[in-house]
A and B are shown apart, each in its own frame.
Chain A
């Protein structure tokens, strides 16, 4: 069964304290791995798409990487405004749908 698992469920950081969020997937025929940011009560905001192992993408304090089994979202020197839930999702070619993980709730304290 296709699964996307994110860890940790919740993460509390001090401002400036770098860390990584993990997304592991068991999806055959993976076509893409997507990262989103979601603020409470809002729609998910697209961050990155990764297509192949070894690929990396960066945006401000965020960097996403992909291996054959998992993806990491690295947050460098986070600020309080980075507090949100980060979702990853895997796209399965055969079923043509995005399978979402349950997310990591990140709280960055000043």
Chain B
């Protein structure tokens, strides 16, 4: 158990819908990262927050957004969902940028 929690574990929804994925980092970690993993793409970095502020952006679509709250938990919002958004979404946390990241169990999103 990495200490990072993610909810829900599974999410099944339809195209065009909007969903919210939630992540709680390990105790003491200020950085939260979001990744997308699909079969043909590997682990793709989406976005990083550090202590409530956006720190780095990767290949995140404009339909996706994230935020980190004062209690350090983070949410990833996915809207206007398409079939291609079906993937595993992982949250990771670390003490700060550059330190080892600890991953949560992931949320499996299926868009029908």
Is the C-beta of A54 less than 8 angstroms from some C-beta in chain B? no
A95 contact set on B, CB distance < 8 A: 56
- B99 to chain A: which residues have CB within 8 Å? 49
Chain B 23-68 residues near chain A, CB threshold 8 A = 33, 42-43, 45, 48, 55-56, 58
Q: Taking chain A's interface residues, is the majority helix, strand, or loop, or is none over half, making it mixed?
A: strand
Q: How far is the CA of A94 from the CA of B80 in the complex (A)?
A: 32
Contact yes or no, B88 A46, CB < 8 A:
no
Instruction: Give the complex CA separation of A42 and B2 in angstroms.
Output: 11
- A32-B98, A96-B55, A97-B45 given as contacts; is B103 within 8 A of A41 (CB)? no
Q: Give complex CA distance A103, B37 in Å.
A: 12
Q: Determine if A93 and B98 form an interchain contact, defined as CB atoms under 8 angstroms apart.
A: yes
| CB–CB B102/A87 < 8 A | no
Q: Which of B42, B98, B106 contacts A103 (CB 8 A)?
A: B42
Shortest C-beta distance, B105 to chain A (Å), equals 5
A96 touches B105 (CB 8 A): no
Q: Does A31 contact B (CB under 8 A)?
A: yes
Q: Mark A67-110, 1 if CB is under 8 A from B, else 0.
A: 00000000000000000000101010101111111110000000
- Contacts of A49 on B, CB cut-off 8 Å? 99-100
Tell me, in angstroms, the Cα distance from A96 to B96 when the chains sit together: 10
Contact A44 B98 (CB under 8 A): no
A97 contacts B56, C-beta separation under 8 Å: yes
Bound CA–CA A96/B53 (angstroms): 14
Beta-carbon contacts of A4-43 to B below 8 Å, as 1s and 0s? 0000000000000000000000000001101010000111
The answer to whether A55 has its CB under 8 Å from any CB of chain B is: no
| Known interface pairs A43-B4, A91-B98, A97-B48; 8 further A-B residue pairs with C-beta atoms within 8 A, sorted by A's residue number | A36-B103, A43-B90, A43-B103, A43-B104, A45-B103, A46-B103, A95-B56, A99-B45
- What are 21 A-B interface contacts by the 8 Å CB criterion? A31-B98, A32-B98, A34-B100, A41-B88, A41-B108, A43-B4, A43-B90, A43-B92, A43-B103, A44-B43, A45-B103, A46-B101, A89-B43, A93-B98, A96-B48, A96-B98, A97-B48, A98-B101, A99-B45, A100-B42, A100-B45
